[in-house]
Homo-oligomer: A and B are copies of this chain.
Amino acid sequence: MTKQVRLGIIGLGGMGSGHARYLLEGKVPDIKLTAIADIAEARLEWARENLPPDIARFATGEALMESGLCDAVLIATPHYDHPPLSIAAMKHNLHVMCEKPAGVYTRQVREMNEWAEKSNVLFGVMFCVRTNPVYRKMHDIVQSGDIGSIKRTNWINTNWYRTQAYYDSGSWRATWDGEGGGVLLNQCPHNLDLWQWICGMPNKVQAFCHNGKWHDIEVEDDVTAYVEYPNGATGVFVACTADAPGTNRFEITLEWGKLVYEDDKLMQYKLAQNERDYCKSAPNGFGIPEMTVSEIAIEGEYTVHPGVMRAFAAAILGKGQLIADGREGIRSLLISNAMHLSSWLGRPVDLPFNEDLFLEELNKRRATSRLKESKTNKLPGEDIRSGMH
């Protein structure tokens, strides 16, 4: 057996303890969990009682990094702590896997990337939904170019239902100061990442974010966004945490037809001819080119977090590639930042946008942010310094 990667987990809330669980179950053979860190005494206590005794426990991320027990860290703290802890780890020449969102604003993530570059370590972001074979397939089909350029994208992404009790379960939840946003920062980073991974980055964004529309929270729980792409295509993204039942329907229109993913089915509508050519040459006014409709068979396993961690270990050991490089991690954040900014300004925002203006506007909101009284403090889940993202 080759050498294992020694991993430390920083932040042992809902996500961090979940990561520990599958690692201890041996789901990532190339990784050995050697240490954990959490600033909450109660969670260290929980770790002492529930994790094997050979896993070292530290009260701070820095202490874990300095211990010499780790080759890599997995950072699963609240959002704002992702960048400083990641950068600190990079300075210790540790490889970093960071929970999403990589940061709350893009300037942070840019710095993370710069430090990853300087330190010559690997920097991955936990975009585990990229391991879903449906989205992999959509990515492959669209990025292959076989069915032409995109003309339109439309993702109704409203199946993120949350009750008021969810928001009341942690004082940091759904606050500008605790999370830096609402559904865009907590629930949708995966979807925004997949959207750009499959369809490419937009270059213009206008979003309509509604804060505390359905819940007693200060951040957005209802978003409709319109985007434009460099090739002229347009797109719509709708997200909400109060639609019951919600919808997850992702449609991509391309020159040779369309892809529609809904209800766990991926349908392909494939034309016999490029619509752009047909439009110009067809003698008739109505009708479309010949078309075949087929359900695309989805092969492969949805490996989720263990899949991302196996790829992370393989990349560290020089025998594979990351699922999502930190450089890509910035993209979903660019989109959500642009959505927030356009909504705050009430006008479309071009990408790249003014990052200083964004931060200024965000900080205005952080300044008046009210942390809620936490009504519950569960372990290892929904607590002030961590949580299930």
- Measuring CB to CB, which residues of chain A are less than 8 angstroms from any residue of chain B? 151-152, 154, 156, 158, 161-167, 169, 206, 208, 210, 213-215, 222, 224, 226, 228, 232, 234, 236, 238, 240, 242-245, 247, 249, 251, 253, 257-258, 260, 269, 271, 275, 278-280, 282-289, 291, 346-348, 382
Measured CA separation A253–B161 after assembly (Å)? 13
Please tell me if the beta carbons of B285 and A163 are within 8 angstroms of each other in the complex: yes
Cα of A163 to Cα of B286 in the assembled complex, Å: 6
The residue that A240 contacts in the complex, of B152, B214, B291, with Cβ under 8 A, is B152
Contact of A156 among B158, B251, B269 (CB under 8 A): B251
A162 to B275, CA, bound (A): 11
CB-based contact B279/A242 at 8 Å = yes
| Inter-chain contacts of A284 with B (CB < 8 A) | 163, 165-166
CB nearest neighbor in B for A282: B163
SS class of chain A's interface: helix, strand, loop or mixed?
A: mixed
A224 and B214 form a contact (CB under 8 A): no
CB distance from A99 to the nearest CB of B (A): 19
Q: Other than A213-B232, A243-B275, give 4 A-B pairs with Cβ distance below 8 A.
A: A163-B287, A164-B280, A165-B283, A166-B285
Q: Is the CB of A242 within 8 A of B169?
A: no
By the criterion CB–CB under 8 Å, are A289 and B244 in contact?
yes
In the complex, the answer to whether A253 meets B158 with C-beta atoms within 8 Å is: yes
